[in-house]
Amino acid sequence: MTEQPAKPMMETRGLTVRFGNAVALKNISLEVRRNERLAIIGPARSGKTTFLRCLNRLNDFDHDYSRSGDILLDGTDIHGPEMDVVALRRRIGMVYAVPVPLPWSIRENITYAMRMAGIRNRRVHAEKVESSLKLAGLWDEVKDRLDSHAQDLSGGQQQRLCLARVLALEPEVLILDEPCSGLDPISTARIEDVLEELKARQSIVLVTNNTMQASRASDRTAFFLMGELVEVGETKQLFTAPREERTNDYLTGRFG
Amino acid sequence: MRLSPAASQRAAVAVMWTMTAATIGVLAFVILYVLARGLPHVTWEFLSRAPESMGRRGGIFPMIVGTLAVSGMGVLISAPIGVATAIYLTEYTRKGMLTTIIRFGADCLAGIPSIIFGLFGFVFFAVGLGMGLSILSGGLTLALMVLPTIIRTSEEAIRAVPQSFREVSFGLGCTRWQTVLFVVLRSALPGIGTGIVLSLGRSISETAAVMLTAGSAMGLPQSLFDSSRTLALHFYILAREGLPMSKAYATAAVLIVAMLGLNLLAYGLMKRFHAKAR
């Protein structure tokens, strides 16, 4: 118990989000612990993706977006005056539902963010390309064609490239928005394996529509419904003995 | 009388085929007619020598230089302004009063006849600002004329870059400016290039606007403040003044070949653009 630091890696306190007049998230207080894989499940339009996009402030670009409540990263308010949004987005790596490789080579896709962050050393680039591709489990498949076009990769490979691209920045938190929604079971299994290994380095938040994936690939699970956090708990407990009626209904397929 | 569906289908195809053939036929006829009359008179001497006795003899070298100078200057001035405007309209503003006014203004500008631009250029640049009939006045006038084309084509090219590319770039901790410069513009470049090349073509073939601003001096221009006759204007004067038609057609042939080249270049760029945005 003493090994776990008091502060969670990330934490929201009473987070309420509106887009115009529509309430997307209601009073969410949820913590992301260090080195855990937190899954977020729930039916469509329950606020899962909105929640993720709050964590790296990607919603800021939406002109209808308004928020109340706080989000803390390692104890620091991410909306505070000393927080640099650009740096924040490097600390919180995001992987999207649809893999979006930029229309360049595999190598360029990974070095882009480093170059923009001012890292110009070619040797560092090469090391990072190799280490991040290895972490994402893609190195062996692409090591001989790093300069070929990223869009020539298969869907599963593209998604692992997107993962590698984010990992190259060594983020403290990894947020994934239904990363396997368009992938076949084998590609899905590979990504789940990678997440298992990454847990030692990062905190992981995994939004998924696939409840089976949550039960396989997470330590704790949160259930969102219509913008509310219904229940959060150890994955095993939540799936076998949910405290809330609504969680049970969702898991047994009575709605959603 | 009623046609069966199959017959009406055949009739429709026949009508459309005829229309298409007519379009291509007219184009081919104009090009071939001018080339046939002009190309035999296009020699190295013609391209490399100055005209003599008002263009009756000699070549068109000063006009080639003048054309490149005036239209090149027009595009060099309008391209950065136009692309910057397009970036501002697409990446930095929301749809609102201001952007509507700017777009409306650009569209109006595109519809103004070139002779009006010529008149404006003459009054404003040549007389008002004291630039005289010169490459500078002509270039500035052409810049105003092609600006709307460059803004609109650049805007379309920038809008065609998927929104997800921007999200990815922001998500990777890149600033808006970095995203615009290294992701958006890089992907939109062939489309923007197409617009610029087409604008260059329009500048090269422009007659009315340059006549009133760059003048019609036949000597080789020595500076941007010299008056210079462009190819299109040279052709107009030769044909108009009853000077040898062979020289006029030869000039026209040179213009047409240049235009074909530019359009092929634009087409190539466009193909690359679409291949990239798959």
**Within an 8 Å CB–CB cutoff, is residue B165 touching chain A?**
yes
By Cβ distance, the residue of B172, B183, B276 closest to A89 is: B172
Angle between helices B97-111 and B135-159 (to 10 degrees): 130
Run of H or E residues at B48: helix B44-48
Neighbour count for residue B42 (Cβ, 10 Å): 18
> How close, in Å, is residue A76 to chain B by CA atoms?
18
Q: Flag whether A152 is in a domain.
A: no
Q: Which of B232, B230, B236, B251 is nearest to B37 (CA)?
A: B251
Taking CB atoms and an 8 Å limit, are B173 and A63 in contact across chains? no
Render pLDDT for B126-140 as a digit per residue (tens, 0 to 9). Answer: 999 999 999 999 999
**Subunit contact B183:A113, Cβ cutoff 8 A:** no
Q: What is the ipTM of this complex?
A: 0.90
Question: How many structural domains does chain A have?
Answer: 1
Residue by residue, DSSP assigns A34-103 as: TT-EEEEE-STTSSHHHHHHHHTTGGGG-TTEEEEEEEEETTEETTSTT--HHHHHHHEEEE-SS----S
Which residue is it, tokens 């039916």? A43
Task: Decide if A219 is inside a domain.
Answer: yes
Largest CA distance in chain B: 73
On whether residue A97 sits in a domain, the answer given is yes
**Position A206 in a domain:** yes
DSSP string, B196-221: HHHHHHHHHH--HHHHHHT----SPP
**Cα–Cα distance for residue pair A60/A163, rounded to 1 Å:** 23
Cα–Cα distance between A31 and A10 in angstroms, integer?
6
Domain that holds residue A220: 10-102+173-251
Rounded Cα distance between B12 and A243, Å, is 68
Q: In chain B, which residues have their Cβ closer than 8 Å to the Cβ of A63?
A: 94
- For residue B74, give every residue at least 6 positions away whose Cβ sits within 8 Å of its Cβ, in sequence order, or none: B138, B139, B140, B141, B142, B143, B145, B146, B199, B203
CB contacts of A87 in chain B (<8 Å) are 173
What residues of A are in contact with residue B174 (Cβ under 8 Å)? 86, 112-113, 116
A46 and chain B: CB distance < 8 Å anywhere? no
Scanning B94-226, the segments in alpha helix (DSSP H) are 97-111, 114-121, 135-159, 163-171, 176-178, 185-205, 208-213
- CB-based contact B164 A102, cutoff 8 Å: no
Strand order in the sheet with A65-73: A22-32, A10-19, A65-73, A76-77
Residue A158, in any domain of the structure? no
pLDDT at B213: 94
Q: Chain B within 8 Å of A212 (Cβ-Cβ)?
A: no
CATH number at residue A178: 3.40.50.300
Judged by CB atoms closer than 8 Å, whether chains meet at B170 and A113 is answered as no
CB < 8 Å to B277, chain A: 103
Closest CA to B212 of B138, B271, B160, B265: B138
pLDDT digits (tens, 9 = 90+) for B142-171: 999 999 999 999 999 999 999 999 999 999
Query: Residue B276: its pLDDT value, please?
Result: 56
Q: List phi, psi (to 5°) of A12.
A: -110, 145
* Residues of B in Cβ contact (< 8 Å) with A117: 173
Read off φ and ψ for residue A183, nearest 5 degrees: -110, 155
List chain B residues with pLDDT less than 50.
Answer: 277-278
- Looking at beta carbons, which residues of chain B come within 8 Å of A58? 167, 170-171
Question: Strand, helix or coil at B226?
Answer: coil
Residues of chain A with confidence (pLDDT) below 50:
1-2
Q: Looking at beta carbons, which residues of chain B come within 8 Å of A162?
A: 168
Q: Measured between CB atoms, does B168 come within 8 Å of chain A? A: yes
The answer to whether residues A206 and A221 touch, using CB atoms and an 8 Å cutoff, is: no
Q: Please tell me the distance from the alpha carbon of residue B168 to that of residue B163, in angstroms, as a whole number.
A: 9
Q: Is A27 helix (H, G, I), strand (E, B) or coil?
A: strand
Helix and strand totals (H; E) in chain A: 10, 10
Amino acid identity at A126:
A
Contact B172 A113 (CB under 8 A): yes
Q: Best mutation site among A60, A65, A100 for testing chain B: the one with the most B CBs within 10 Å?
A: A100
Helix, strand or coil, per DSSP, at residue B150: helix
Answer whether B95 touches A (CB < 8 Å): no
Residue A132 lies in a domain: no
